[in-house]
A = this chain, B = another copy of it.
Amino acid sequence: MAGKTAPTGTDPATSAASGSPETPARRLRADAQRNIDSLLAAAKSVFGTAGVNAPAKQIADTAGVGVGTLYRHFPQRSDLVRAVFQREVDACADAAPALAAALEPAAALASWLKRYTEFVATKRGLATALHSGDPAFDALPGYFMQRLGPALGSLLDAATASGEIRAGVSPRDLLHAVANLCLPVPGEGPAYSQRMVALLIDGLRYGAEHQPP
């Protein structure tokens, strides 16, 4: 990054001199969006290693922007935590229709639950913040359920309809159960969570119409 000398559009002076057709306002908005994207990706990474209370400078440095830019877009730490969380939830929800299109219903369900397990297992720092009682996070559990509930629900419905899993297990129950199975256990890593989630998935398959040979 430091060695880059070509105009990248992040410097308004360079960009204006190159006669870009973008209006300054639109260019500013594009720059701002790029900064936001970089900050969210950086925050996700830094939160994962150093926790959600990591120094602002570490996040700004990782994003390649100044600390002032971080504070302009995310005045409070809770704003940044909330934005990272929502982006992660969105990505996980969006994986559901993609998997449903690519795999058989039960396999799509199992793949998505593994994806969701990874998401939860690597987001412990976020979970701690979310359960801190800070009113800034009040809406997030609702957002989580509102996005992931229907995503999982459609996969469960398809696998029930195909006879590969039994009916009667709610998306809400499963989302909570997997989240709890991702809580740290002494001496165990993410493989433990995945093993236990696989057992839950087999529990869904047990007693279904279509049994394995």
Contacts and interface: CB of A to CB of B under 8 A. Distances in A.
Contacts of A34: none
B196 A177 contact: yes
Interface in A188-205: 188, 192, 195-196, 198-205
A58 B196 CA distance: 41
A103 to B, nearest CB: 19
16 contacts: A169-B199, A173-B188, A177-B199, A180-B181, A180-B183, A180-B185, A183-B183, A196-B200, A199-B200, A199-B203, A199-B204, A202-B202, A202-B207, A203-B206, A205-B206, A207-B212
Given A183-B183, A199-B200, 14 more contacts: A141-B186, A169-B199, A173-B195, A176-B192, A177-B181, A177-B196, A177-B199, A180-B181, A180-B183, A198-B203, A199-B204, A200-B203, A202-B203, A211-B211
User: When A and B form their complex, which 8 residue pairs have the shortest distance between CB atoms, in order from nearest?
Assistant: A199-B203, A203-B203, A202-B206, A202-B203, A206-B206, A176-B185, A177-B196, A180-B180
Contacts of A200: 196, 199-200, 203
Stoichiometry, as copies per complex, reads 2
Interface of A: 141, 169, 173, 176-177, 180-181, 183, 185-186, 188, 192, 195-196, 198-207, 211-212
A201 B202 contact: no
